[in-house]
Structure 1
């Protein structure tokens, strides 16, 4: 049996990262409530922080501004 890899929309990733950055959730709290792994959430938070700082991501953008740039 192989475990299927889950995929998440960019909107979901943005909202999940916003929980930590904007609403003050801890990583562990957000992970439990969303049902995602901590590594994935940390990656999304790092990406969102970078995008807000003006860094164009190499993966799918989370913010609308960076999506337009891509």
Structure 2
């Protein structure tokens, strides 16, 4: 049976990365002390070094690029709906009157 997946806060991850960066203990020892896997801690360190302040956005939070893409897709959908309504209205009003 699998263990339930644990969730860690952004603050916990940042503090764990700072412990690794301080070089007081090896990464493996820090991971054991925090009761997390070596690979998870290594992944957090890599993510933090690449993204700094945007690292670990959390559930439902996105990077600025992802947020912009989401907004643009939403706007695109709305514009398509408006276009389709205008096409239907044009078809209705352009019918010959009886």
- Check whether TM > 0.5: yes
**1:37-56 mapped onto 2 (5 Å cutoff):** 37-52=37-52
| Structure 2: tracts of 5 or more residues without a match | 65-98
Q: 4+ runs of 1 displaced by more than 4 Å?
A: none
- More RCO (CA 8 Å, sep 6+): 1
Change (3 A) 1:45 1:3: same
Q: Comparing both structures, which one devotes a greater share of its residues to helix?
A: 2
Q: Secondary structure at the match of 1:40?
A: helix
Alpha-carbon RMSD across the aligned residues, in angstroms, is 2.5
> In structure 2, how many angstroms separate the alpha carbons of the residues matched to 1:3 and 1:20?
26
Larger Rg: 2
Aligned residues: 60
> Can you list the C-alpha shifts for 1:10-64, whole angstroms capped at 9, x where unaligned?
100000011111x103111111111100110001000111124x8x55x527xxx
Match of 2:3 in 1: 3
Which blocks of at least 5 consecutive residues in structure 1 are unaligned? 62-68
